[in-house]
Structure 1
Amino acid sequence: MTAVTTAKGDTSDTCERDLLKRVLGALLREDVVGLRSRALAVERQDGPWLRLAAADGAEALLLPIADDGFQSAYTARLPLLVRESDGEELTTCGEVLHALGALADPADRSGFDAFAEECRQTLATMRLHHRTRDEIDGYLADRYGADPADWTGLTESLAHDTLAARQDHPVYPTARGRSGLDDDQLCSYAPEFHPRFALRWIAVPRQTLIVPSGEGRLPACWPTPATLGLPALRHTHIALPVHPLTVGTPLDEALRATGLMDTAVLAERPYLDVMPTLSMRTVALVAEPTLHLKLPLGTATLGLRNRRTIKAGTLIDGAACQRLLETVITREPRFRDTVLIADETVYAHAGHECLAVLCRRWPDGLEGSAVVPLAALLSEAPGGRLLIDHLADRHYDGDPIALLDEALTLLFDWQTTLFGYGIALESHQQNVSLVLNQKPDGRPRLRLLLKDNDGPRINTARMRDALGDDAPAPSTFDDVRINGDDDGPIRDLFTTITVHLCAGAFAFGLARRGRVPLDALLTLVRDRLGEAVGRLGPGPGQPGAVLRDYVLNAPELPVKAMVTAGTLLAKERSGAADINKHYTTGPNYLQRTAAPPR
């Protein structure tokens, strides 16, 4: 499928309403312009509201709120934002962000304009998803079968990525948007449309391409310049893949910046058919689906500052973290057959973040398994049922909670074990997949598959105590933010990624769909986390005590402030050292008996 023909006609206004509700919920959670800290609570006939007045008192905004509990005590509800002076309801993201931007520091108002554009792009994408839903569902069912539990193997796993790509992010409200891309580009290259396309290639002087593992480890399918129609360069140049969306201005700017404009040659001949994965910038080879190529893109997702280019340092750090995880698994043999790690040690770059490639190789033996990113579990499969239900029917006698239980048991065991070694991973829903098949006796077999481990946080003192001479030196990692001398950064990362995105999000997500009472799901999360924490050292300052005090029993938990750091505020204004690890606080939903969310 190379492109999607979109249906004509109006899309339901629910797209804009749903997006605005998510946007306001995120702004409330992150206390943008003091929505949490400066607003006064007002009780009205229909429930609680917040009143936020301008500093001069000339105008006030009214926000109706409802109980939430997942990372924020409250969230927005209809009729959303109202201007007090005339009672006008602000019904678009543009109107809301203009009104809130007027209350912001003048230095920050450009960020509100940028976020309004981000919302506009996201709304256009949501409407495109709405118009093409039936066509994509039909295409997937025709190609892979009506039951997604039958989508086994690495080619079929890309269909699970397609379902996941149409899901909203648990925290970031505009995650479906990609800056600067129009509908035709999305249909041709984005995972939610399941397209197939050919890569472009550029031949660069051999001495300018850095391949730390050696050119001999590049995949066997790697073309020579002669293969690409450039025989005169076969001895002097080496080929580097380029995503078609990077060809043009982003590539030209990279060549000028590196001084390669006159010596690098873009091949006219495309080569190697690929399909996008959930990440979009990472593509799977059609003829060799065990090989993925991660390529720079000029777009941004999850915030204006979250560019999809590839810095050379992240390639170094991903390979170093992979080796560290393999060291831990060697010492913890129970994970040898249950935690699989993609090989990300082969990469190349030419000194610019738009001239790079990561060659990811999946482990062997996945052909007969369903390989499903966590992000896909609550997506609607063709026919309207949740994907987790299809998988539960096949492997867990129709009980999705049994599937979730086993996944959480393994996930928490693995991540708390890493915490004991002083390690926390940025292993969110996109970077962790479930590998599901059956054992010879017919019982389900569930494993974890991890990728993209380039952004960990490490307590170097704890790691040295645990690994001794096997601990990598801090200089092994390129990003100086990775290493620290206390548990704070790894505690925050463990909580915001493993607990919130990989556990809490599923508890609240299933409850909001009316599947299981929220209390029961949160009890499951707390119990499985408590069991995993109980296997760690319980003494003061030991890993188990840290997780018990700062996660299980803490009155509040860290929460990602992604909109603030990613788009609204410049780094010098937000103070964010890392836009993906900038936090506010929210309620600890593991510490209360929660009512079902309204």
Structure 2
Amino acid sequence: MHRPPTAEAEIADELAVVRPGLVPRYTGELPGARAAVLTRLWRGLTHEPLPWIVRREAGSDGLALRLADGRRLYGPRADPYATGAYVTAVRLDETVYDDPARLMTELAVPHSAVFAAELGHSVASLALSRTGSAPTPEWPDRDWEWERRVVDGHPFHPNCRSRPGLSVAEQLAYGPEHGPVVELGLLPVPEAECLVAGVWPTWLREPGRLVVPVHPWQAAHVLKRAGERGLAAHPLMALRTLALPDGPHVKTALSARLTSSVRDISLGSVGASAALSDFGETVAARTDGLLHITRTLGAVAAGSSDLAAVLRESPEEYAGPGERVVPVAALATTELPRSARWLSAFTRLALTVGLRLLEWGVALEAHGQNLLVVLSPEGDPVRLVYRDLADLRIAPARLARHGIALPGQVLARMVTDDERTLRRKLFGSLVAGALAGTAGSGPALRAALEDAVPHLPRTPDLTALLEEPLPAKALTLMRLSPRTAGDQWAELPNPLYFGPM
């Protein structure tokens, strides 16, 4: 029977046409990319509430997963907080698999075919990212140079580099790890047709029209029209957000599926952006300078989420002389987390800010992309910067207790007084995400928490963090549950108390 070409083969064929000199290196990167994605997948299989896994049995030589159909899946014990590629193969009954896409195909659980295709894209695109990644300075001066260093994408998501909507040429042209300069189109739209929040700048205005920056992928594949002239910018981790050389960041509409889903700029988020930005400034002002939130300067939507853009302050605005602003996801590319003293100081800073805001009624989505740390000239963590307020959770009752007004215009999905929801939002993104990804392993995360916790105010939220399982998004379950809306969650062993992995 003829098998369709794999994503690995498709990218190799495209690369042979676009950049033939990279083909040998791409082929050499594939085994490592498979292991990196398989490691992320194994974490999901061993820790998420997947309905077709009925039992997990730890043994002296690893872990066995008993499936509902009687088969068994064998692999190493999984540290839920480890990064890297420590799982090179697993065994399903008597067959060994080193390819996560083939493994998911053979598991043949509901919706596994689509997920297997995504895993194949993740492997192939990860190998491509490693193949063509551009060199950066050891200590970059610009925030976009730091973001370029996050070559492997999300540290725990099996779809860490899944970009099925982008060709090889487009990945090389738009992926930040490849170091491109992207020419944004500038599309004039009648002002009367636009929803505007904040102040849309004069340099993006014409008489009677607003000029909307458009990502070239969106222009070619969705809008089917290009802008009138180009605006050079550097892509960031989010791909659709780009840094102007000496100006703000531009968040563009990009309707491609990246990692898990298609992200858009909804009309509601445009309408609420100015009020949320003001709210963020108000809350950050109460942190004694430990936190800054990048302001939304202006947002516009021209009739739909397909043609929209947001202008946001660059985090570099909050760097003093000699300081650097580094996305937390990029910290793992430095030597800093290898110092127990540095990691403890950073953990203490992050938890102090996150728990303080949570007490006031604001749960940050503080993962490694949204959260940045300001480093002193000596490399010490001194304060935090947070960007992109669209995924906050806001608790009216907590706000009222602390005399903070609820924003006048906010999306209904952001408002909740449910403590479990609020804690999941912060703990899942900050502790199970940003801090775990920076620490790189459970033991390192545990040591940093043990050093930081005695310095934190004892609140009910801190007690929950210390005594309950740690929530984390069930990223594999979510990809295998396409009809279930919203986030789904796993409960990871508390990093302060779990035993040997």
The TM-score normalised by the length of structure 2 is 0.87
- Is it true that 1:525 corresponds to 2:454 in the alignment? no
Unaligned segments of structure 2, at least 5 residues: 1-17
- Is it true that 1:446 corresponds to 2:400 in the alignment? no
Which structure 1 residue ranges, 4+ long, deviate > 4 Å from structure 2?
Answer: 3-6, 75-78, 442-445, 518-521
**Shift, 1:569, TM fit:** 1.2
- Structure 2 counterparts to residues 230-245 of structure 1, below 5 A: 235-245=207-217
Unaligned segments of structure 1, at least 5 residues: 225-234, 253-265, 380-386, 393-398, 512-517, 535-543
**Shift, 1:562, TM fit:** 1.9
Determine the C-alpha separation between the residues in 1 that align with 2:166 and 2:303.
26
Is the Cα–Cα contact under 8 Å of residues 162 and 258 in structure 2 kept in the other structure?
yes
- Structure 2 counterparts to residues 506-521 of structure 1, below 5 A: 506-507=438-439, 509=440, 511=441, 519=443, 521=445
Question: Which has the larger Rg?
Answer: 1
- Is it true that 1:15 corresponds to 2:33 in the alignment? yes
Amino acid aligned to 1:206: E
Q: What is the match of residue 330 of structure 1?
A: 285
SS at match of 1:245: helix
**Shift, 1:48, TM fit:** 3.9
Q: What is the match of residue 3 of structure 2?
A: none
Q: What is the match of residue 255 of structure 1?
A: none
Alpha carbons of 1:296 and 1:450: their partners in 2 closer, same or farther (altered >3 Å)?
same
Amino acid aligned to 1:159: E
Determine the C-alpha separation between the residues in 2 that align with 1:160 and 1:531.
30
User: Greater shift after overlay, 370-379 or 405-414?
Assistant: 405-414
Alpha carbons of 1:484 and 1:365: their partners in 2 closer, same or farther (altered >3 Å)?
closer
Determine the C-alpha separation between the residues in 2 that align with 1:408 and 1:203.
45
Q: What is the match of residue 254 of structure 2?
A: 297
Q: Aligned-pair RMSD on alpha carbons? A: 2.8
Is the Cα–Cα contact under 8 Å of residues 6 and 131 in structure 1 kept in the other structure?
no
Amino acid aligned to 2:128: L
Determine the C-alpha separation between the residues in 2 that align with 1:426 and 1:40.
31
Identity %, equivalent residues: 24
Determine the C-alpha separation between the residues in 2 that align with 1:297 and 1:267.
14
- Residue-by-residue CA offset, 1:141-168 (whole Å, 9 max, x unaligned): xxxx4xx22x22xxx221110112x134
- Residue-by-residue CA offset, 1:104-134 (whole Å, 9 max, x unaligned): 3xxxx3x32221111111111122123224x
Alpha carbons of 1:410 and 1:53: their partners in 2 closer, same or farther (altered >3 Å)?
closer
**Shift, 1:360, TM fit:** 0.6
Q: What is the match of residue 236 of structure 2?
A: 277
Amino acid aligned to 1:545: P
**Shift, 1:51, TM fit:** 3.1
Determine the C-alpha separation between the residues in 2 that align with 1:218 and 1:318.
12
SS at match of 2:28: coil
- Structure 2 counterparts to residues 191-202 of structure 1, below 5 A: 191-202=176-187
Q: What is the match of residue 537 of structure 1?
A: none
Amino acid aligned to 2:148: T
- Structure 2 counterparts to residues 179-578 of structure 1, below 5 A: 179-213=164-198, 217-222=199-204, 224=206, 235-252=207-224, 266=225, 269-286=228-245, 288=246, 290-303=247-260, 306-332=261-287, 334-335=288-289, 338-362=290-314, 364=317, 366=319, 368-379=322-333, 387-389=334-336, 400-438=339-377, 444=380, 446-467=382-403, 470-472=404-406, 476-478=409-411, 480-507=412-439, 509=440, 511=441, 519=443, 521-534=445-458, 544-548=459-463, 550-554=464-468, 556-565=469-478, 567-571=479-483, 574=484, 576=485, 578=486
Amino acid aligned to 2:79: D
- How many residues in Structure 1 have an aligned counterpart in Structure 2? 478
Alpha carbons of 1:53 and 1:339: their partners in 2 closer, same or farther (altered >3 Å)?
closer
Determine the C-alpha separation between the residues in 1 that align with 2:21 and 2:48.
36
Alpha carbons of 1:210 and 1:422: their partners in 2 closer, same or farther (altered >3 Å)?
same
- Residue-by-residue CA offset, 1:275-299 (whole Å, 9 max, x unaligned): 101211011112x2x3111001121
Is the Cα–Cα contact under 8 Å of residues 277 and 295 in structure 2 kept in the other structure?
yes
Alpha carbons of 1:201 and 1:328: their partners in 2 closer, same or farther (altered >3 Å)?
closer
Is the Cα–Cα contact under 8 Å of residues 296 and 313 in structure 2 kept in the other structure?
yes
Is the Cα–Cα contact under 8 Å of residues 33 and 124 in structure 2 kept in the other structure?
no
Alpha carbons of 1:371 and 1:42: their partners in 2 closer, same or farther (altered >3 Å)?
closer
SS at match of 1:377: helix
Amino acid aligned to 1:415: G
Alpha carbons of 1:421 and 1:246: their partners in 2 closer, same or farther (altered >3 Å)?
same
Determine the C-alpha separation between the residues in 2 that align with 1:372 and 1:308.
24
Alpha carbons of 1:496 and 1:403: their partners in 2 closer, same or farther (altered >3 Å)?
same
- Is it true that 1:125 corresponds to 2:120 in the alignment? no
